[in-house]
């Protein structure tokens, strides 16, 4: 009887041990599943954030109903942005904007110098007070007037007087006074802060950086951009 009792005890202990093993297995499966869910959820959330871009109240070029949106994040003090606007952008304008394929937006990422922030604020004030057309004239001229000497990158060039003088080349003195008055009131701080918040959300680290329908352009040529635009147009149908 003693031996039989001992045998039953071992059986019970064995069953108890097996129960513990299955418990650990179930916990392990649930843990792995939770980790996968969290990673997948974060990935999907990131993708959603990348495509959920608000384009309202942003300066743009092109057909309002164009199927594809391109954003350029730029800094008026950036010499690479100057080169982009003088060499790469004309191709975008001719082949993509003028043909009705894209709507092109400019957003500020003023990170290089105090001139960058000052120019961004002034440009937003031009857009707010004088409208889209005057903004783009000012935008183009400001890049053209950026000094070729990159040693000046860390020096004050785009002073308030410089910005006012530049604006006076594309509009009336009355409009310049209007813009300057509102610029001094910091009326466009929120607009620049909105751009900078999007810079952070999208993980932008330099200028110029392009996004096509919310996806970062990683190509090296205009042909690469054309291909990305064509793919985005198909996806938007």
How far is 74 from 59, CA to CA, in rounded Å? Answer: 13
In a shared domain, residues 9 and 92? no
In a shared domain, residues 103 and 159? yes
Nearest to 76 by CA among 141, 32, 149: 141
In a shared domain, residues 70 and 26? no
Number of structural domains in the chain: 2
Nearest to 146 by CA among 177, 112, 180: 112
pLDDT at 153: 66
CA end-to-end span of the chain = 81
In a shared domain, residues 95 and 176? yes
Low-confidence ranges of the chain (pLDDT < 50): 1-12, 15-16, 25-27, 29-51
In a shared domain, residues 80 and 166? yes
CATH at residue 143: 3.40.30.10
Maximum Cα interatomic distance, the chain, rounded to a whole number of Å: 112
In a shared domain, residues 95 and 211? yes
Domain that holds residue 203: 60-236
pLDDT at 136: 98
Sheet bearing 60-61, strands edge to edge = 60-61, 102-108, 68-74, 209-212, 215-216
């Amino acid at each position: 009887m003693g031996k039989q009792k001992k045998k039953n005890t071992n059986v019970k202990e064995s069953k108890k041990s097996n129960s513990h093993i299955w418990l650990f297995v179930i916990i392990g499966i649930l843990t792995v599943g939770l980790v996968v869910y969290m990673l997948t959820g974060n990935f999907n959330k990131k993708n959603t954030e990348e495509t959920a871009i608000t384009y309202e109240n942003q300066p743009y070029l092109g057909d309002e109903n164009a199927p594809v949106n391109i954003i350029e994040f730029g800094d008026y003090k950036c010499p690479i942005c100057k080169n982009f606007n003088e060499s790469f952008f004309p191709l975008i304008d001719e082949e993509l904007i003028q043909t009705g394929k894209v709507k092109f937006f400019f957003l500020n990422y003023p990170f290089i110098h105090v001139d960058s922030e000052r120019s961004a604020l002034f440009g937003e004030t031009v857009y707010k007070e004088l409208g889209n057309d005057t903004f783009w004239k000012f935008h183009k001229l400001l890049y053209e007037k950026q000094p070729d000497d990159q040693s000046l990158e860390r020096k004050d060039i785009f002073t308030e007087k410089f910005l006012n003088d530049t604006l006076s080349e594309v509009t009336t003195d009355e409009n310049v006074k209007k813009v300057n008055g509102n610029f001094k009131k910091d009326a466009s701080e929120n607009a620049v802060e909105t751009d900078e918040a999007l810079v952070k959300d999208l993980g932008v680290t330099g200028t110029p950086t392009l996004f096509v329908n919310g996806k970062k352009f990683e190509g090296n040529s205009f042909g690469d951009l054309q291909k990305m635009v064509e793919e985005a147009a198909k996806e938007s149908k």
